[in-house]
A = this chain, B = another copy of it.
Amino acid sequence: MTQSPAPQTVESAAAPVQHQAVTFPEGLALDCGAVIAPVTVAYRTYGQLDAARGNAVLICHALTGDQYVAEPHPITGKPGWWEAVVGPGKPVDTDRFFVICANVLGGCMGSTGPREMMTDAGGQTRPWGTDFPSITIRDMVRAQKLLVSHLGIPRLLAVIGGSMGGMQVLEWAATFPEMVFAAAPIATATHHSAQNIAFHEVGRAAIHSDPDWKGGRYWEDGRIPARGLSVARMVAHITYLSEQALSRKFGRRLRGASALTFLEDVFEVESYLRHQGSTFVRRFDANSYLTITRAMDYFDMAAEHGGNLAAAFRGTGTRFFVASFDSDWLFPTAESRILVRALNAAAANVSFVEIASDKGHDAFLLDEPDFHAALGGFLRGAAERAGL
C-alpha cells in the first residue's frame, strides 16, 4: 500500500466576493431566544417584478447551495445550481416570473453567518465563528421574510425548494400562509430522520477532529479545516446519490489497468469523491456547515405544532405541489407521503408526484424532464389561478 499524500494545510479561500445584500438594523429574534442585530440577507433576483408585484417566486436553496441559482457561481465559475429549472423559457420562467433567492441565514455567501464579522462584547470586530447562535429552519425563513417585505412584495406567487430548501418551503407555508399562494416542497420531509442526523453527525465529527478547525477559531491563523470539511462533504455526497447512480457512474471501474496494483484511489469512485471534497472546501465555510446541518437536524414540524403535523397547515389556502424521486434514500417517498397525508388532513389543495429516476436525492438538481414538466405545469396553473 502506498501512502497518501501528507495532509496539507489549506489557506483561507480566495479574495472575498462582494454579494448583493440588504442589512436590517433591527435584526432578527431567533427561536433560541437570541437576537441577531443587525442582520444581513444576501440575495439574487432574475426577471422583472410586475406592476402589481404579484409574479414573485422565491427559491429556497439546499444545505450547500446559495443564491446563485441561474448564473455562474462567483467563486467556482460553474453554472448556477438550478439552471436546468430557472431561466428564460424554463419551468420557472424568468421571462414571466420575478425570481428571488437568498443565501440562508447561517450561510457563507453574504448573509449573516459564522464567517461574517460581528462586534463582540469587548468592542472587538471578528468573525462570528462558533459564537454564531444556533438557528432553525424557521429562523432562515424569517430572514427571507424581511427581504421579501423589503422588496415590497405582499404575497409570493410561489415558494419552491428541494431538500433543505423544501423544509424552508414548508415553514413558509406554515408560518406566513397568507404570503404563500403556492408552495412546492421537493425531495424533502417534515422532520429529519435519525439516519440523516447520524450522517450529519459524522460530518461534524470530521470537522471537529481536524486540528485546523481550532475549536472554530480557524480564521485566526488564516487556515481552514479543509481535511475535516472534505471528509464531511464526501460522506454527504454518497447520500445524495443512489447506489444505481454510483454504479452507473463508476461501477467498480479501475483507474489503472489492474485491480492488484493497490494504489491510492484505485477505484474511480474514490477519485471522484476526493475531488468533490477538495473543491467543496474552496467555496464553503466549516462553521456554516456545522450551523446549517444542526438547523436541519432540529427540523420537526409536528413537534413544533404539539405533535400534530396537520395542525401546521390547518386552514391553509396555499396550493401545494409535493414531489419525490423513487431512488432517493435520503428523503424517500415515504416521507413525502407523510406530508401529503397531513396536508390532506388539513383539507389543503395538494398534488403529489413520485418521479421515476435512478439518480437518488440529487435528481431534483438534474435533468429530469418529467419532474420539470410537472413543476412547470404546477407553476403555470398557479399563475393562472392567481390571475396573472
Which A positions have Cβ atoms within 8 angstroms of B?
A: 1-4, 6-7, 31-33, 130, 132-134, 136, 191-195, 197-199, 201-202, 205-206, 208-211, 215-216, 227-228, 230-231, 234-235, 238, 241, 243, 246-247, 249-252, 259-260, 262, 267, 269-270, 273-274, 277, 290-291, 294, 297-298, 300, 303, 329
- Chain B residues whose C-beta falls within 8 Å of the C-beta of A208 in the assembled complex: 4, 7
- Smallest CB separation, A335 vs chain B (Å): 10
- Chain B residues whose C-beta falls within 8 Å of the C-beta of A231 in the assembled complex: 202, 205-206, 209, 231
- Smallest CB separation, A316 vs chain B (Å): 24
CB of B194 within 8 A of CB of A134, answer: no
A6 to B329 CA separation, bound complex (whole angstroms): 34
- Smallest CB separation, A53 vs chain B (Å): 35
CB of B269 within 8 A of CB of A130, answer: no
Known A1-B133, A201-B270, A206-B209; further 4 A-B contacts with Cβ < 8 A = A134-B262, A194-B247, A198-B246, A198-B273
CB of B243 within 8 A of CB of A194, answer: yes
- Chain B residues whose C-beta falls within 8 Å of the C-beta of A4 in the assembled complex: 208, 215
A130 to B198 CA separation, bound complex (whole angstroms): 30
Residue of B nearest to A332 (CB): B243
- Chain B residues whose C-beta falls within 8 Å of the C-beta of A191 in the assembled complex: 252
Say how many copies of this protein the assembly contains: 2
- Chain B residues whose C-beta falls within 8 Å of the C-beta of A134 in the assembled complex: 1, 260, 262
A155 to B6 CA separation, bound complex (whole angstroms): 47
Residue of B nearest to A249 (CB): B194
- Chain B residues whose C-beta falls within 8 Å of the C-beta of A247 in the assembled complex: 193-195
A6 to B231 CA separation, bound complex (whole angstroms): 19
Given contacts A260-B31, A269-B194, contact A277 B216 (CB under 8 A): no
CB of B209 within 8 A of CB of A260, answer: no
Given contacts A211-B7, A231-B202, contact A1 B243 (CB under 8 A): no
Given contacts A194-B269, A201-B269, contact A215 B252 (CB under 8 A): no
CB of B273 within 8 A of CB of A202, answer: yes
